[in-house]
Structure 1
Amino acid sequence: MADTRLIQGRYRLLERIGRGGMGEVWRALDESLGRQVAVKCLKPMGPRHEPSYLRVLRERFRREARVAAALQHRGITVIHDFGESDGVLFLVMELLDGRNLSELLEDTCGHPLAVPDILEIAEQVAAALAYTHGQGVVHRDLKPANVMRLTDGSVKICDFGIARLGDSIGYSSVSSRLTGTGIAMGTPHYMSPEQIGGAPVDHRSDLYSLGCVLYELATGAPPFDMDDAWAVLVGHRDTAPVPPRTHRPELPEAFERIVLDLLAKDPEERPPDAAELHARLLVLEPPGRLARPVTVHRTPPRLPSVRASVRLPEPRLPGWARNMTTGSKATGPGPRTPLPPDPAAALTGAWTEGLAGPAVGLTGVWTAGPAGLTAPVQRTASGPAVPAAGLPTVREAAVPPAPEALAVLVARHQEGLRLGRLGRWEEAGRAHAAVAADRERLLGPDHPDTLTSRYEAAFALSALGRPGEALREYARAAAGRERVLGPDHPATLAARQETAYVLGQLGRHFEAHDVYAAVLAARERTVGPDHPDTLRCRHNLAFNLGRLGRLEESYRMACEVAVTRSRVLGPAHPDTLVSRYEVGYALGQLGRWPEALQTYREVAVARQRVLGAGHPDTLAARYETGICLGRLQRSAEALRLFRELVDERTRAQGPEDADTLRARHCLGVNLGRLGRWEEALAEARDVCAVRERVLGRDHPETLVSRREIAVGLGWLGRWTEALAVYRDVAQARQRVLGADHPDALTSRNDEAHCLEQLGRSTEAVELYRQVAAVSRVRATRSRSGP
């Protein structure tokens, strides 16, 4: 055949356009009719079979090919002819002008497709399956590579009948038989549990495979995306899929429900047929018919890391915003836990003066003192502080600064720290920046005290939601400390760890992962795996793994840190409880809400016993309990809990405290869940007004409240007003975070959805396309590494 390039004297092979496990696909010319076609040549059966067996296979091929050729539907690839040539079975099909879904995902570097595109594809595939299942035909190999999207937007399923042919001939991509290694043949990412177990397969197996395909289109990866084929098969059989909106919160809730229904392990729990599925999808089909506004993808609060012992408002977007949906807000680790000191903060002085309060919840009570400007010191086991070897002292400077000038800088440094403890980050940032400039002038750019002031200025910028500026300052501090103190000095590692955090704030989680991993390796090498700083870095790395979508790894690492802290510090130590708190968050990310609820309740009880009922950390665990109740649709219980928290936080911290406002925000969210949208809108307006006055108009938490106003307006049908608010939030996030930040992109999606609701479909589609283009560029850049 390859020599003559002509099959049966009619089909001239022109160009190979595809190759797979079952054979090759060629663009060919039907010389009888003068049209171009696609010819699929199955692999030769070879001489290994007896002639009688081959006769049975040929008859089976003809029967299956006739069944496939009889399918006549706009969503099914047309089969024109079939036969055998030189021992090779072939099918002649219509030549399609388009890309299969696997290629579309490759074009976007694995980034998920736009929501309108996903819904359109899903509706057309469901319609085609409804037809074929009605004809008694089951595909059995539905996967992205077998679904084509043509240039005109129409969708066609390919290779009906091929799976059964492959089963008979012995090289099916979905054969339930196992190889000698015990692994199912072919790619297992789209196989139903009954296929894996060798049980009888019916139309509901196709529905499961479609659920896998839609999951990948919506999130960028199949539901069980492991490198090991056996692990994938076990996932299909035994593991509940992570809800798609965990990865991509802007997906419509109704769409997520459809996907999870399709992915039910038991066929009886899936939709009964594709016709019902098609009817459910039609309700979601764009434009203008999405059930609710799309969701903002948010960045979580900072997890414990080396930092001054102060109680801080969360930078960027708060914990209660993590994974929240419109009207069904979700999880987060809650208010930021107080953080231990930067080991180089005021490197040249002893920390003796107590701060505003103990850093309970991490590694004990940390103290701090005046930032003296003498030589950096190190403590010996039995003697007084001595100058750190190899570091310059002020007395070595060519023109020693006047003691009075140094004393003034110490006082100004302390004032900056005090302002930070009060949450007055704008003033604190200005104070530290000014001290850094003066210390650089007097002591030089690489003097430890100059670098400490830069570090503090960077932290203030991070707390203000200005991660780009913070990143530049942390980078300067880290580089300077590495030159002066060495790459493995605790102060250098502290600055690098904070660099990783702000990279995460900027959505650059791949780069953050690399920095966290390097810092962790250095900490393990220098102070050991059980040191509090090492465990803190592993804690942060676990969280970042979750942001990369590596949820199971994130959960396992969080559990490991919790176990190690329990062994080293004790099960009731505040640090241990912080890690158990993170385990609760990871469970929520995995959609295991009952377990997350139980974990948060246990942490709340333990903290109440150790820290007291009114301690901020105890209240934070109760707060997360309320988040879980909401996710479990127990909104009435959640509403009661958040009312209690608002009262308790108002008494303890005041009505304008960040934690009080977060509790009020969640109270409003649960009012919305209960359909009390007028009350929810009023609460959102009140919280937004306070945040704008206290934090500023463009602060991330203010923007979250402003968006919640738009959500309420949308639910009340006031879409014109909602559009103005959504647009304002999108523009602010672009200004603060950058046009390609995930939160900014999701806000643009909010805006596009609102345009759909107003019937302005052309504008909406264009905006969706713009967002998709920026997302593709961002995904490519992220995967290329730092």
Structure 2
Amino acid sequence: MAESRLIQGRYRLLERIGRGGMGEVWRALDESLGRQVAVKCLKPMGPRHEPSYLRVLRERFRREARVAAALQHRGITVIHDFGESEGVLYLVMELLDGRNLSELLEDTGGMPLALPVILEIAEQVAASLAYTHRQGVVHRDLKPANIMRLADGTVKICDFGIARLGDSLSYSSSFSSRLTGTGIAMGTPHYMSPEQIGGGPVDHRSDLYSLGCVLYEIATGAPPFDMDDAWAVLVGHRDTAPERPRTHRPELPEAFERIVLDLLAKDPDDRPPDAADLHGRLLVLEPPDRLARLATVHRTLPETRPRPVRASVRLPEPRLPGWARNMTTGSKATGPGPRTAPPPDPAAALTGAWTAGPTGAAEPTGLPAPTRGSGTGPEAVPGAGPAAGPEAFAPPAPEAVAALVARHQEGLRLGRLGRWEEAGRAHAAVAADRERLQGPEHPDTLTSRYEAAFALSMLGRPGEALREYARAASGRERVLGADHPATLAARQETAYVLGQLGRHFEAHDVYAAVLAARERTAGPDHPDTLRCRHNLAFNLGRLGRLEESYRMACEVAVTRSRVLGPAHPDTLVSRYEVGYALGQLNRWTEALQTYREVAVARQRVLGAGHPDTLAARYETGICLGRLQRSAEALGLFRDLVDERTRSQGPDDPDTLRARHCLGVNLGRLGRWEEALAEARDVCAVRERVLGADHPETLVSRREIAVGLGWLGRWTEALAVYREVAQARQRVLGADHPDALTSRNDEAHCLEQLGRSTEAVELYRQVAAVRRVGQTRGRPLHR
């Protein structure tokens, strides 16, 4: 392959930039997209190798590709593609501009790195490991050469070459036995955990030990067991306590030394329980020369085990890593219906993940569904303030608190798995027990109420969620203060569920108040401020204030582009909203261009098959249909149906939306028999999956009536239109825009059947309801 210099007719190798145990890494040009990438190639395998050896190498390489490609986090190297060409396996990755930690140490002549740099590296690696461990992935070869620091300060973990899924973490598994049986090194001696050396069970805590070795080395200039003989190094890891880092470098903070020594504990149970806990401990460390900046940094810590909070002791505000300041994700305002959320991340307020969820007929219907924001509760905020009523509630036994924490974490795990019914029950039970043991306004109790409310919102039960959010918000305001980030987070979620309930005027007032508080306390460019402005822009659209919505969405997109970069996921979410606002203003040509740009950027960052890339392509198809370019739209939706079916299944709501739009465009092309058949199929699946009265089921049923009308079968069409109208009135109310549209559909059908008197009376009734709604100031459009 090196002779041809071209892989799969696409990746042209330019220069070799590295060699490793598994092969070579090349700088290459992706001729399809015109970008430079890194291509990792397994060394050419000649006949001198045993077939079993080659088979295991292939299996291991493919496993690396599958595991690494599934990881989506700022601190993990992005995998673009993988495959086999001319007998050689290859992996295509983002090309990183930076130096790995081994090279940084070489640059200093073997001297340790500066303390601020060490802390930045430690924080980011801990956040990345917390994410990968939540995905069930253990790296197992963490070392300085596999940690890259980029020019902008971003730190990325590279080469998940011997990572494996958590379901097979025992060395005794058949696959691991095959690997170790070939003599393939499973780890690097200077950074291997004692359990890894001894062949015992290995889990995420092994990575924490390896990270301790890395931090020891970059802080002192040498690894904890710095001997030439590999066996002596392994024995040192297994049997010998490391020297304290401050022995080599006295100016290191004692708290940092304690963290490193905890990571290097021989027994995994004596190490930090997980990387999220480690991340929380690192965030409150601050070198003396940077303490003055703490007053300007506003951020809540990730969810970790609660620590005792005393009124007389306040820990310093945690600081952000350099690359992460002013970054965000978090809740985006959407319309009614359940939300989807990715697993929380230790840097949840810093990374850019989102899940698209357009709904409805052949029209754009709003933003991608939200991800979890920061501010999940004072449980994550050491020093956030005292619990309410300490005189009334004696401190509970430590074992009781630990049990509650374990149950709380189990609730979070259930949520990450999408098991929201179980998660909601778990959080509600924990909230009740915390209230009994710690009091109704203890920060931990309020955190559990917040999580219970979030689960209810995810289940599409906004009324119940609103009550829980209101209790959490009012309690946090009394305990923490009106402007505390956790209080504002609960109030912002209150606004979100008000929007779910169609109470957009009230939602607007809450968003506006929260935005004013965020601007006052955190500044106009802070991540939480931008998130709130983003939500407010969407809500303005729901109120019919389309020009204001469009202007605000543009402002947020421009600010995020400046602060985060034009290709950052949050920037793209805001540009997606700009496209939606343009569509609402019937500026479909501009909306089409915007959605296409977002789709291209998401494909470049996330890949062609990522759900968010597909969401932008879906909206592109909507725009094409609106512009009467139905042949192009039809082809796009056929591709989307295939890709959604393959990746998400035939019954997934997104697959069904794409099929619905395919049918709509068949109709626009005059292919009404095919359109009617597609509408019937989609309606049947939606009724089975979502229920007979679900809004999307009713949209499909209406499309059946449209097809029947175009085929001249007006009597059948009238019956279906009436079914839809009655269901919408029952579910949405007689004055809801969709219910009124269905009544108009009925009237049109009556006209076609020659029943003009009935049609006129129905038109009159609809007009009267619309006038009443406009007089009351209720928005009658989406």
How far did 1:77 drift? 77
Listed as ranges, the matches of 1:616-635 within 5 Å are 616-635=611-630
Q: Distance in 1 between matches of 2:772 and 2:240?
A: 33
- 92-101 or 493-502, larger mean C-alpha shift: 92-101
Q: Distance in 2 between matches of 1:124 and 1:347?
A: 11
State whether residues 307 and 339 of structure 1, in contact with CA within 8 Å, keep that contact through their aligned partners in structure 2: no
Q: Distance in 2 between matches of 1:212 and 1:774?
A: 71
How far did 1:477 drift? 3.0
Q: 1:765 to 1:182 in 2, by over 3 A?
A: farther
CA deviations on 1:28-61 (whole Å, 9 max, x unpaired) are: 9999999999999999999999999999999999
Counterpart of 1:446 in 2: which secondary structure?
Answer: coil
Q: Distance in 1 between matches of 2:311 and 2:199?
A: 59
- 586-595 or 440-449, larger mean C-alpha shift: 440-449
CA deviations on 1:107-147 (whole Å, 9 max, x unpaired) are: 99999999999999999999999999999999999999999
State whether residues 42 and 88 of structure 1, in contact with CA within 8 Å, keep that contact through their aligned partners in structure 2: yes
Q: Which residue of 2 aligns with 1:405?
A: 400
Q: Distance in 1 between matches of 2:414 and 2:193?
A: 59
State whether residues 123 and 285 of structure 1, in contact with CA within 8 Å, keep that contact through their aligned partners in structure 2: no
- 542-551 or 638-647, larger mean C-alpha shift: 542-551
State whether residues 297 and 743 of structure 1, in contact with CA within 8 Å, keep that contact through their aligned partners in structure 2: no
Q: Which residue of 2 aligns with 1:130?
A: 130
State whether residues 466 and 498 of structure 2, in contact with CA within 8 Å, keep that contact through their aligned partners in structure 1: yes
How far did 1:522 drift? 1.0
How far did 1:617 drift? 1.5
State whether residues 342 and 353 of structure 2, in contact with CA within 8 Å, keep that contact through their aligned partners in structure 1: no
Counterpart of 2:17 in 1: which secondary structure?
Answer: strand
How far did 1:686 drift? 2.3
State whether residues 321 and 332 of structure 1, in contact with CA within 8 Å, keep that contact through their aligned partners in structure 2: no
How far did 1:313 drift? 38
Q: 1:698 to 1:18 in 2, by over 3 A?
A: farther
How far did 1:583 drift? 1.6
CA deviations on 1:645-700 (whole Å, 9 max, x unpaired) are: 11112222222222222212211111121122222222222223333333333333
How far did 1:734 drift? 3.8
Residue 659 in 1 paired to residue 654 in 2?
A: yes
CA deviations on 1:208-259 (whole Å, 9 max, x unpaired) are: 9999999999999999999999999999999999999999999999999999
How far did 1:508 drift? 3.0
RMSD: 29.7
- 735-744 or 218-227, larger mean C-alpha shift: 218-227
How far did 1:349 drift? 22
**TM-score normalised over the length of structure 1:** 0.49
State whether residues 388 and 439 of structure 2, in contact with CA within 8 Å, keep that contact through their aligned partners in structure 1: no
CA deviations on 1:433-462 (whole Å, 9 max, x unpaired) are: 455455445544434444444434444444
How far did 1:488 drift? 1.6
Q: What stretches of structure 1 of length at least 5 have no aligned partner?
A: none
- 405-414 or 124-133, larger mean C-alpha shift: 124-133
Q: Distance in 1 between matches of 2:112 and 2:762?
A: 16
Q: 1:537 to 1:134 in 2, by over 3 A?
A: closer
How far did 1:525 drift? 0.8
Q: 1:722 to 1:174 in 2, by over 3 A?
A: farther
- 710-719 or 214-223, larger mean C-alpha shift: 214-223
Equivalent position to 1:427, from 418, 422, 427: 422
How far did 1:564 drift? 0.7
CA deviations on 1:174-206 (whole Å, 9 max, x unpaired) are: 999999999999999999999999999999999
- 169-178 or 492-501, larger mean C-alpha shift: 169-178
State whether residues 191 and 236 of structure 1, in contact with CA within 8 Å, keep that contact through their aligned partners in structure 2: yes
How far did 1:566 drift? 1.0
CA deviations on 1:248-294 (whole Å, 9 max, x unpaired) are: 99999999999999999999999999999999999999999999999
How far did 1:382 drift? 22
Q: 1:256 to 1:703 in 2, by over 3 A?
A: farther
How far did 1:640 drift? 0.7
How far did 1:467 drift? 3.6
How far did 1:779 drift? 3.8
- 458-467 or 192-201, larger mean C-alpha shift: 192-201
How far did 1:523 drift? 0.9
Q: 1:369 to 1:599 in 2, by over 3 A?
A: closer
State whether residues 593 and 632 of structure 1, in contact with CA within 8 Å, keep that contact through their aligned partners in structure 2: yes
Q: 1:606 to 1:446 in 2, by over 3 A?
A: same
How far did 1:27 drift? 89
How far did 1:381 drift? 17
Q: Distance in 2 between matches of 1:229 and 1:782?
A: 77
What is the aligned length? 771
Q: 1:157 to 1:722 in 2, by over 3 A?
A: farther
CA deviations on 1:580-617 (whole Å, 9 max, x unpaired) are: 12222222222222221111111111111122112222
- 628-637 or 446-455, larger mean C-alpha shift: 446-455
- 441-450 or 670-679, larger mean C-alpha shift: 441-450
Counterpart of 2:644 in 1: which secondary structure?
Answer: helix
Q: 1:252 to 1:334 in 2, by over 3 A?
A: farther
Q: What stretches of structure 2 of length at least 5 have no aligned partner?
A: 301-305
State whether residues 324 and 331 of structure 1, in contact with CA within 8 Å, keep that contact through their aligned partners in structure 2: no
Q: 1:622 to 1:263 in 2, by over 3 A?
A: farther
Q: Distance in 2 between matches of 1:614 and 1:539?
A: 26
Q: Distance in 1 between matches of 2:768 and 2:110?
A: 13
Q: 1:351 to 1:227 in 2, by over 3 A?
A: same
CA deviations on 1:354-376 (whole Å, 9 max, x unpaired) are: xx999xxxx99xx9999999999
Q: Distance in 2 between matches of 1:715 and 1:250?
A: 81
Q: Distance in 2 between matches of 1:387 and 1:127?
A: 18
CA deviations on 1:459-502 (whole Å, 9 max, x unpaired) are: 44444444444433333333333233322222222222222223
Q: Distance in 1 between matches of 2:774 and 2:141?
A: 29
Q: 1:471 to 1:321 in 2, by over 3 A?
A: farther
How far did 1:521 drift? 0.9
Listed as ranges, the matches of 1:251-266 within 5 Å are none
- 248-257 or 698-707, larger mean C-alpha shift: 248-257
CA deviations on 1:676-726 (whole Å, 9 max, x unpaired) are: 222222222222333333333333333333333333333333344334433
Q: 1:90 to 1:486 in 2, by over 3 A?
A: closer
Q: 1:563 to 1:431 in 2, by over 3 A?
A: same
Q: Distance in 1 between matches of 2:62 and 2:409?
A: 86
State whether residues 477 and 487 of structure 2, in contact with CA within 8 Å, keep that contact through their aligned partners in structure 1: yes
Q: Distance in 2 between matches of 1:9 and 1:351?
A: 33
Q: Distance in 2 between matches of 1:776 and 1:238?
A: 82
Q: 1:68 to 1:669 in 2, by over 3 A?
A: closer
Q: 1:115 to 1:381 in 2, by over 3 A?
A: closer
Which structure has more RCO (C-alpha within 8 Å, separation ≥ 6)? 1
How far did 1:377 drift? 22
Q: Percent same amino acid among aligned pairs?
A: 91
State whether residues 44 and 88 of structure 1, in contact with CA within 8 Å, keep that contact through their aligned partners in structure 2: yes
Q: 1:699 to 1:125 in 2, by over 3 A?
A: same
State whether residues 492 and 511 of structure 2, in contact with CA within 8 Å, keep that contact through their aligned partners in structure 1: yes
State whether residues 370 and 411 of structure 1, in contact with CA within 8 Å, keep that contact through their aligned partners in structure 2: no
Q: Distance in 1 between matches of 2:76 and 2:352?
A: 76
State whether residues 216 and 223 of structure 1, in contact with CA within 8 Å, keep that contact through their aligned partners in structure 2: yes
How far did 1:635 drift? 0.7
CA deviations on 1:323-370 (whole Å, 9 max, x unpaired) are: 999999999999988579699999999999xxx999xxxx99xx9999
Counterpart of 2:92 in 1: which secondary structure?
Answer: strand
Equivalent position to 2:374, from 339, 362, 380: 380
Q: Distance in 1 between matches of 2:705 and 2:680?
A: 10
Q: 1:107 to 1:451 in 2, by over 3 A?
A: farther
How far did 1:22 drift? 89
Q: 1:701 to 1:418 in 2, by over 3 A?
A: farther
- 434-443 or 289-298, larger mean C-alpha shift: 289-298
How far did 1:753 drift? 3.9
Counterpart of 1:378 in 2: which secondary structure?
Answer: coil
Q: Distance in 2 between matches of 1:32 and 1:603?
A: 18
CA deviations on 1:618-645 (whole Å, 9 max, x unpaired) are: 1111111111111111111111111111
How far did 1:573 drift? 1.1
Q: 1:749 to 1:404 in 2, by over 3 A?
A: farther
Q: Distance in 2 between matches of 1:116 and 1:767?
A: 72
Q: Distance in 2 between matches of 1:141 and 1:668?
A: 51
Q: Distance in 1 between matches of 2:57 and 2:225?
A: 34
- 625-634 or 199-208, larger mean C-alpha shift: 199-208
Q: Distance in 2 between matches of 1:652 and 1:215?
A: 43
- 630-639 or 597-606, larger mean C-alpha shift: 597-606
Larger Rg: 1
State whether residues 329 and 353 of structure 2, in contact with CA within 8 Å, keep that contact through their aligned partners in structure 1: no
